[in-house]
Amino acid sequence: MNYKLLAERLLPGEYPALETFEEKYPPRNLPPKAEVTRLAPSPTGFIHLGNLFAAIANERIAHRSGGVLYLRIEDTDLKRKVDGAVEAVIKALDYFDIRFDEGAEIGGDETYAPWYQRQRAEIYRAYVKHLIEEGRAYPCFCTEEQLSALRETQTEKKEITGYYGKYARCRDLSEAEIYENLDAGKPFVIRLRSLGNPENKIKFRDAVKGEITVTENDQDVVILKSDGIPTYHFAHAIDDHFMRTTIVIRGEEWLASLPIHLELFDALGFQRPRYGHNCSLMKQDGETRRKLSKRKDPELSLEFYRKAGYFPRAVKVYMFTLLNSNFEEWYLKNPEAELNEFPYKVEKMGKSGALFDLDKLNDISKNELSRLSAEEMAHFLKAWAEEFGTEAEKGYFADEEKLLKVLALCMGIGGKKRRKDFTTASQAMKFMEYFFTRTPREDEYRVDEETKNAILHDFLATYSYGDDAQAWFAKVKELAGAHGFATDMKDYKANPQNYKGSVADVAEILRIATTGKANTPDLWTIMQILGEKEIRERIENA
Ligand code: GLU
């Protein structure tokens, strides 16, 4: 068969000589150990925790080594393309402080541009043409119907599905048959002529999983689709080579395609990058563990974290905990350190499923938020509220002095111990609501209506806004005694039958009347923040 003529017929016209690509995209001028990593999402508009997981790993590996992290958009599948998806990726990752050095919609060193695969068609086609000339790729005219019939037969026979070996019908078409099909105008794809044998097992050093054994590829995978656009497999091999990627950290769902990728790199005559397959994020679901699912688990989407107002550092701390086995210990020793100071190591990445637990993240979030100053917290909440808050919540920032007082109280700043009441921005805003507006009562009074009314009435009779905390509490005690409640907790515990309750119960009545809740931070301070007029009105209403 004259492969050169065939290649010309299939991909007519002049293509640049392959060396010109090597010259155009030369090895990067970086220090010897610098790593070049990338994120290569498809523009589907859905960015998930797995993307963040891989992004953090790739970002750390690149930047700790003085290398480059770039963003490449794998848009070969137009059906999956969504407008604004690239900006959404950049924004979603920016929230977690992941910054690209170059890439789609980012710019940077133009040497390795463009970063959209659809704009790189010439390189792919030049290489496809070359593979056809070498007899390593061939046209396939099988129709969708033929391929699905093939899949059915293979499934029935419990054989591996795909286009390989005896099932690769178009692999051995004669020259005459090929030209006949072409003359008839039949659409075709280009497939790799695999030279692999599935009996052969290859030892492979995965950067994350260590030494693994994979089966040699024998699938004649499609490399160029009928619309002249390459498949992911082919495009990524070309791009990782010419963008001079040194290590690829990607999800372990790609492990199954690894043999294809190894063969493609060899067929193209490229040196392979290192590959590391990151473990999947799992969720405990009753007795079983399963992968986080787009359909069932809202927490899979990164949007979930921004909307709920998770503190980015908290999410990152948790991701690091899942990513690197020695992170937790390091963080305990270095709680004040910048996360980027952590000596991130590929070798310490988890080899098998990481269990993602929202409760654990919430605990970490509480801790992280409790370490902020009131000003830092206000800043974080404001940014969240501007994007996601209600009009009322946006209003909390009008009186900054008041807000800082509320935050200081709710966070226990200046107290013996920091409070850990805040988990996320949305929850914190809700938590503080009663400071800014009168909220419906959430908790029930634990005394009868008459007692409650009498206590509230008598409280107002002696309430003076100028009283300090001690004077205020002395009055509450007096009030308790006058209404048959124990003023002293010890007395109450010794003889509860002698009392209606204790001074704590009286305070609770006042608390519910003022805030609607039985549990709040220090009530005297709350009253100080709310002001005399507001307190009187709330208690009267109650
Ligand atoms: N485009 C692939 C994806 O959507 C990228 C896989 C890789 O990182 O090589 O996940």
The CATH number assigned to the domain with range 3-15+121-278 reads: 3.40.50.620
Average of pLDDT values for 84-89?
96
* Nearest atom, ligand 1, residue 74 CA: 1
Number of H helices, E strands in the chain: 24, 15
136 CA distance to ligand 1 centroid (A)? 25
pLDDT at 80 (0 to 100): 80
Element (H, E) at 114: none
Segment 5-63, tens digit of pLDDT: 999 999 999 999 999 999 999 999 999 999 999 999 999 999 999 999 999 999 999 99
pLDDT at 427 (0 to 100): 98
pLDDT at 259 (0 to 100): 98
Q: Which of 116, 236, 261, 277 most suits a substitution to test ligand 1, by most atoms within 8 Å of the C-beta?
A: 236
Q: Residues for the chain: how many in total?
A: 542
Per-residue pLDDT at 351 exceeds 90: no
Per-residue pLDDT at 513 exceeds 90: yes
**DSSP single-letter state for residue 29:** -
Segment 103-143, tens digit of pLDDT: 999 999 999 999 999 999 999 999 999 999 999 999 999 99
Segment 220-230, tens digit of pLDDT: 999 999 999 99
What span, in angstroms and rounded, lies between the C-alpha atoms of 408 and 406?
Answer: 6
219 CA distance to ligand 1 centroid (A)? 20
209 CA distance to ligand 1 centroid (A)? 18
Per-residue pLDDT at 183 exceeds 80: yes
Q: Which residues pair with 137 in a beta bridge?
A: 192
SS3 track for 186-226 = CCCEEEECCCCCCCCEEEEEECCCEEEEEECCCECCEEECC
40 CA distance to ligand 1 centroid (A)? 5
Ligand 1 and 41: CB distance under 6 A? yes
Ligand 1 and 240: CB distance under 6 A? no
pLDDT at 78 (0 to 100): 80
78 CA distance to ligand 1 centroid (A)? 15
SS3 track for 483-500 = CCEECCHHHHHHCHHHCC
Q: Coil, strand or helix: which one is 277?
A: strand
Q: Which of 59, 240, 250, 277 most suits a substitution to test ligand 1, by most atoms within 8 Å of the C-beta?
A: 250
Which spans in 309-373 are helix H?
312-323, 327-333, 358-370
Average of pLDDT values for 63-91?
94
Protein residue with its CA nearest to atom 3 in ligand 1: 41
Protein residue with its CA nearest to atom 8 in ligand 1: 250
pLDDT at 137 (0 to 100): 98
Mean residue pLDDT across the chain = 96
Per-residue pLDDT at 353 exceeds 80: no
CATH fold of 449-541 reads Arc Repressor Mutant, subunit A (1.10.10)
Segment 377-419, tens digit of pLDDT: 999 999 999 999 999 999 999 999 999 999 999 999 999 999 9
Report how far apart, in Å, the C-alpha atoms of 289 and of each of 256, 352, 386, 537 are: 21, 12, 38, 53
Q: How far is CA 165 from the centre of its chain?
A: 40
Per-residue pLDDT at 530 exceeds 90: yes
Radius of gyration of the chain from its Cα atoms, rounded to whole angstroms? 33
* Nearest atom, ligand 1, residue 250 CA: 8
pLDDT at 193 (0 to 100): 98
203 CA distance to ligand 1 centroid (A)? 23
All structural domains of the chain with their residue ranges: 3-15+121-278, 283-369, 372-436, 449-541
Ligand 1 and 74: CB distance under 6 A? yes
With b for 16 or more beta-carbon neighbours within 10 A and e for fewer, the 109-139 pattern comes to: eeebbebbbeebeebbbbbbbbbbbeebbbb
Segment 362-380, tens digit of pLDDT: 999 999 999 999 999 999 9
Close Cβ partners of 144 (under 8 Å, ≥ 6 residues apart): none
Q: Give the largest CA-CA distance in the chain.
A: 109
Segment 48-74, tens digit of pLDDT: 999 999 999 999 999 999 999 999 999
Average of pLDDT values for 87-111?
96
Assign 496 a pLDDT band (cuts: 50, 70, 90): very high
Assign 308 a pLDDT band (cuts: 50, 70, 90): very high
Average of pLDDT values for 453-460?
98
Per-residue pLDDT at 79 exceeds 90: no
41 CA distance to ligand 1 centroid (A)? 5
Which percentage of the chain shows pLDDT scores above 70?
100
Q: Which amino acid is at 441?
A: R
Superfamily of domain 283-369: Glutamyl-trna Synthetase; Domain 2 (1.10.1160.10)
Segment 188-204, tens digit of pLDDT: 999 999 999 999 999 99
pTM summary value: 0.92
Assign 352 a pLDDT band (cuts: 50, 70, 90): confident
Which percentage of the chain shows pLDDT scores above 90?
98
Protein residue with its CA nearest to atom 5 in ligand 1: 40
What span, in angstroms and rounded, lies between the C-alpha atoms of 308 and 56?
Answer: 21
Protein residue with its CA nearest to atom 10 in ligand 1: 41
Report how far apart, in Å, the C-alpha atoms of 336 and of each of 61, 315, 331, 375, 418 are: 22, 16, 8, 18, 16
306 CA distance to ligand 1 centroid (A)? 23
